[in-house]
Structure 1
Amino acid sequence: MTSPLIQVEHVSKVFLTDEVETHALSDISFNIHQGEFVCIAGPSGCGKSTLLSILGLLDTPTKGSYTLNGRTMTGLSPAERTRVRGSQIGFVFQSFNLIAEMTVKENVELPLQYARVTAAERHTRVNEVLEAVGMAHRANHYPSQLSGGQQQRVAVARALVSRPAIFLADEPTGNLDSTHGHAVMELLQRLHGNGSTICMVSHDERFTELGDRIIRLRDGQQVGASVPDLKIA
């Protein structure tokens, strides 16, 4: 078997506020392999988003190690974490975080501009990902002209345009109604079917059951992993 894309070993996270210790995560260990769709599940406040922030290099563990693509992420400088995030990690959050003054195309193109990708390459890749998420016909619209589900699809396209090694989604259906939530999950399943590696946080069992594997947390501790009994095609 090939080496895991992600290796998390004995990771803990402690927050210190007013001399009070809050143990957000305690001794978490798991691997994610290339092409997997892994869901992190558990009730609100169990540490799901903290764990995803560590995977996305937005935060650092207090103890333990995190390896991405064979390289340890522990001890990287802020500038190094930023470089790795920009080249290997794609994010989708509960809030869409689109820039209101920019068109759909401009929002999706922004990460490539930061990465100094050529104009011709940017054009090709933006069109490619907008086609993939079914939003090419809205390329020149602004976020205010889109539904919530459409805005989330644009956010997915923006995360994909850098061709990341791992795609992280933090409650991507949290601000959507049931119909749009299912549409976004169908999109993620399709991307997974095309080879994308996805790690998604959700408290909604309807959606966590769609992954290949579920990592369950409770009170900051890992309480097991499971393979869903039923997957919807």
Structure 2
Amino acid sequence: MASKAERGERRTDALSKERIVETAIEILDADGEGALTFRALTERLSTGAGAIYWHVANKNELLAATTNDVIARAMTSVVHTKDPKKAIRAIGLAVFDAFDAHPWAGSQLSREPWQPAVLRIFEAIGGQLEALGVPQRSQFDSATALVTYILGLAGQYAAGARLIAPGTDRSAFLADVATEWEQFDEATYPFVRRMAGQLRDHDDRAQFLAGLDLLLTGIASPPKTNTTT
């Protein structure tokens, strides 16, 4: 008969980190970060806490692993193209769609700037800048600006969508907010009042791409040095 230690070793080997991460993602997608506990994982996986701790030390490590898995899959889904602008747009949209499907990932990425998931995005974006004609001395700043925009706005949209009550019609929600904007004092908020109609009709994904294109245009066309005296 196998000893307790032998049985425990077999169970730990059978429970892979990949399976733990997959189950954690299911919990996060269904009920959010607050529902992800090691107790919930042990119940889902029909195992003991020790088997899980064998692979991940704590919840922060588990969240980093789940986010890295989500972003790795997003990067794998990007269709390769020789056009660097199209490639960067595709990478940005892949991250946007990943956050839309997994809103909790945006919050996790904002906590630790250089975790593996962020480095994946940074590498994917940075790898296109030389082909875009960006001088090496400007590539770090350019990549940082693009990644910050992508993570920030995509995460903001995902977080905003999470705050809207389930079943709420997006168009109706935006119409209500736009109506509030239209009622603001014109002397204090002239621009906000003018933009109310665009808020009502805008598409998050299209607006995200428009901002990305603005950044890419500036990066690809740096200001000329004024040589006049």
TM range (shorter): under 0.3
Higher relative contact order (CA 8 A, sep 6+): 1
- Normalized per residue, which structure has more strand? 1
- Normalized per residue, which structure has more helix? 2
Give the TM-score normalised by structure 1: 0.25
Give the TM-score normalised by structure 2: 0.25
Which is greater in Rg? 2
